[in-house]
């Protein structure tokens, strides 16, 4: 299968179920909301070494945010609901409660599953219940004024680890394609790419062949600079760089759409020659997203 001359390999991306929450962060300006959102979703690229996978899903205009201020929506995902709750609590406490002028609202108000985020104790007895629009919130006196929080946030059974590989003739052209894909995911509600800038240059395999104490190591079959010395190399001829896009989302449909639209965008960038995807023989998760099906 080819799109715009780019070979779409006949393979699949392996994804796994993850409890997924979305939180709306508003602030006096979009800049302040973004600073809080980026801080809260930092150090959250991959479950291999971070407590949660997280990223900014989208931005909120004042006309459709709960308190009429600019904002952003962050997505957090973890297969274990207790871990998701713990991380959400810590990150909202350390990175959003502390940020100037912010407020927190539930981003999935229709989800039946609820996660408590008990930040009102921070008020030391001075906190009180109130309403913002139709949301029941706590108001907590802080040095900067008052902090507002809706303490229960919705969680759904989402999907993590949707992915594909962009392969090209040189590093910067291939990276440019990956940056176009990030624009597509930014425009897809309910999906986020958790790596720095939404892109990873160092996709991993599970475990290590040589160093047994490593939980993950470089995905050597897809490393272009060692194609000649690696008998298991799967790097196509002429490919000099491969960037991976990893997508977490609130449901499977969102992941499928983000992957399909993203791949199509990548295929329009000069220098891109192949698209593939990461899978681990079914050991990672139950979802198999076949590229050819997604794109037909």
Pairing of strands 135-142, 53-60: unpaired
Cβ atoms 277, 165 nearer than 8 A: yes
Q: Which x/- pattern over 35-74 shows residues binding its own copies (rule: CB under 8 A)?
A: xx-xxxxxxxxx-xxx----------xxx---xxxx----
Instruction: Examine residue 203 and tell whether it contacts its own copies (CB under 8 A).
Output: yes
CB of 35 to its own copies, least distance (A): 4
- Binders in 84-123 for its own copies, by CB under 8 A: 90-91, 93-102, 121-123
Q: Which of 240, 251, 252, 295 touches its own copies by CB under 8 A?
A: 240
Q: Which of 11, 20, 163, 176 touches its own copies by CB under 8 A?
A: 176
Per rule CB under 8 A, count of chain residues that contact its own copies? 108
Q: Is 34 exposed, middle or buried (0-12, 13-18, 19+ CB in 10 A)?
A: middle
User: Of 76-84, 148-156, 265-273, 285-293, which part binds its own copies (CB under 8 A)?
Assistant: 265-273
CB of 28 to its own copies, least distance (A): 5
Instruction: Examine residue 3 and tell whether it contacts its own copies (CB under 8 A).
Output: no
Whole-number Å distance between alpha carbons of 248 and 202: 18
Residue 53 pairs in a beta bridge with: 77
Query: How many CA atoms, within 13 angstroms, populate the side-chain half-sphere of residue 222?
Result: 23
Segment (H or E) for 287: strand 287-290
Cβ atoms 15, 280 nearer than 8 A: no
- Binders in 178-197 for its own copies, by CB under 8 A: 178-181, 183-184, 186-187, 195-197
């Amino acid at each position: 299968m080819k799109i715009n001359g780019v070979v779409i390999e006949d393979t699949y991306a392996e994804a796994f179920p993850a409890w997924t929450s979305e939180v709306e962060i508003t602030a006096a300006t979009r800049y302040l909301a973004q600073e809080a959102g980026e801080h809260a979703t930092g150090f959250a690229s991959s479950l291999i070494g971070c407590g949660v996978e997280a990223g900014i899903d989208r931005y909120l205009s004042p006309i459709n945010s709960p308190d009429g201020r600019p904002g952003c929506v962050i997505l957090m995902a973890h297969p274990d609901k207790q871990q998701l709750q713990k991380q959400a609590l810590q990150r909202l406490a350390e990175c959003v409660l502390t940020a100037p002028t912010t407020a927190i609202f539930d981003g999935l108000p229709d989800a039946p599953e609820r996660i408590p985020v008990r930040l009102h104790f921070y008020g030391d007895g001075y906190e009180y219940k109130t309403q913002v629009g139709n949301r029941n919130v706590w108001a907590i006196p802080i040095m900067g004024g008052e902090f507002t929080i809706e303490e229960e946030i919705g969680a759904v059974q989402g999907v993590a680890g949707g992915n594909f590989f962009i392969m090209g003739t040189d590093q910067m052209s291939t990276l440019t394609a990956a940056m176009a894909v990030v624009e597509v995911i930014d425009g897809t509600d309910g999906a986020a790419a958790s790596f720095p800038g939404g892109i990873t240059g160092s996709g991993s395999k599970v475990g290590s062949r040589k160093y047994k104490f490593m939980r993950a190591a470089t995905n050597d079959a897809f490393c272009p600079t060692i194609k000649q010395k690696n008998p298991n190399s799967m790097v196509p001829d002429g490919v000099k760089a491969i960037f991976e896009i990893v997508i977490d989302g609130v449901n499977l449909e969102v992941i499928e759409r983000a992957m399909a639209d993203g791949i199509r965008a990548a295929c329009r960038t000069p220098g891109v020659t192949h698209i593939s995807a990461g899978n681990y023989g079914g050991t990672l998760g139950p979802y198999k997203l076949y590229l050819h099906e997604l794109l037909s």
